[in-house]
Amino acid sequence: MVSRSPRPTCTRHRVEVDGGPVQYWCPNGHGLTAADLDNEFHPAPALQEAGA
Ligand SMILES: [Zn+2]
């Protein structure tokens, strides 16, 4: 058994999401799929959404 797996976090808000394992919900009010989640810990914000 896994002792303590880190919860997935919203890639946009960097907060823990609820639900799973396929559909997750961000506390900010939007849904995410497993592919949208950031399961890895990034020590530095390497990637940022640069829109314009
Ligand atoms: Zn979010």
Residue 52 pLDDT exceeds 70: no
Give the distance (Å) from ligand 1 centre to CA of residue 3: 26
Own/partner pairs for 39-47, CB < 8 Å, 24+ apart?
Answer: 39/6, 39/8, 41/6
Give the distance (Å) from ligand 1 centre to CA of residue 23: 13
Residue 48 pLDDT exceeds 80: no
Give the distance (Å) from ligand 1 centre to CA of residue 43: 19
Q: Which of 36, 31, 30, 39 is nearest to 8 (CA)?
A: 39
Give the distance (Å) from ligand 1 centre to CA of residue 9: 8
Domain boundaries, the chain: 1-39
22-26, 30-34, 37-41, 44-48: which has the minimum mean pLDDT? 44-48
- Residue 24: pLDDT band (50, 70, 90) is very high
Residues in the chain, total: 52
Residue 2 pLDDT exceeds 60: no
Q: What is the pTM of this model?
A: 0.57
